[in-house]
Each structure stands twice: as C-alpha cells, then as structure tokens.
Amino acid sequence: MGRVVHWADRVASLLSAAAALVAMAMAVFVVLASTMRYLVGAPFAFTEEIVGLLFITMIFVGFPACTLREKHIRVTILPDLLPPPLRSLMDRVANGLLVVFCVWFGYLTLDYMNTAIALETRSAGSRLLLWPWTAVLPISCALAGLAGLIRMIVPSPLSASPDGVDHPGAD
C-alpha cells in the first residue's frame, strides 16, 4: 500500500503544479484584458470565456490533490470532541461519501462530456471548442474518488489529533 500512496502523492504533486500553472494563465489573461481595455479601449473578445474555463479547470485539477492531502476546508467541531478511534471512523465514512459523490458526479459529467463531443459544442462568444474543458470533470472525479479510496484505506495522521496538526513522536 505504501507504493500506491507514494505514486498517488506524485500524481497529486503534478496536479497541484498544473493547477498553479492554470492559475498563472488566468492572471496573464486578466492582466492582458486590463491592458487592452486601457490601451485600445476593448479587451480581447475571448478573455472572459477563457478565464471562466481556466477557473473551472483550476478547481477540478486541484480537487484530487486536495482530497488526497486533506487540504480542503474542514469543519472539525464534532470530530474534535470524539476520541481518536471514532474520529478515524468518521473520517473514513466521510471519504466513503466522497467516493459515492465522485462516482455519481463523474457519471453525470462523463455524459455531459460525451454530449459536448457529439454536438461539437462551442462557447457563445469566441466559439471555443468545449469538449476538452468538459473532459477535465470526469477525469477529476475519477482521480478524487481514487484519492478518497486511498484515504479510506490509509487513514491520515490528521484524523488522530484533535487540533488537526500532526504531532510526530507524540504517541
């Protein structure tokens, strides 16, 4: 299982880097649009659409990494009151629910992607082909679901400490 976690962490690193690159691309397009609006009086026609598509891509590319590394927003009021074994069980149940959500949402987004491919859908203003952007959704759901499965099998050290901080050597 250690090898699986190691490879999953490597994939999470690649996805985190990709999400950061997408965020930088968004920033470049926003700066370009602002510059064009100031210099020419109008931004590029595709700027708003591409930034919106990049934003959704950034979120979904980062989702599996956040899931694997448990870096998402957590409300820990109830788990903090529980003893470590129950906290770990609650964490596994939550990851199980995440896996169910990823299968369900992934199935819906796969259908959405297939429809976008079949109809060759394009964005309204700049006519950007949409299926490559919609392909990110089911892939992200599949990877986040796998991350949830890994977290169900290999509990995080975060689920053991009430303050959410890993305390090495505190056993």
So what's the pLDDT on residue 2? Answer: 78
So what's the pLDDT on residue 131? Answer: 93
So what's the pLDDT on residue 96? Answer: 95
pLDDT at 164 over 90: no
168: confidence class by pLDDT, cuts 50, 70, 90: very low
72: confidence class by pLDDT, cuts 50, 70, 90: confident
So what's the pLDDT on residue 6? Answer: 83
54: confidence class by pLDDT, cuts 50, 70, 90: very high
So what's the pLDDT on residue 139? Answer: 95
- DSSP letters for the chain: -HHHHHHHHHHHHHHHHHHHHHHHHHHHHHHHHHHHHHHTSS--TTHHHHHHHHHHHHHHHHHHHHHHHT-S----HHHHHS-HHHHHHHHHHHHHHHHHHHHHHHHHHHHHHHHHHHHT-B-TTT--B-HHHHHHHHHHHHHHHHHHHHHHHS--GGGTSTTS---TT--
pLDDT at 75 over 70: yes
pLDDT at 67 over 60: yes
pLDDT tens, position by position, 6-33: 898 899 999 999 999 999 999 999 999 8
| Averaged pLDDT for residues 45-61 | 92
| Averaged pLDDT for residues 132-153 | 94
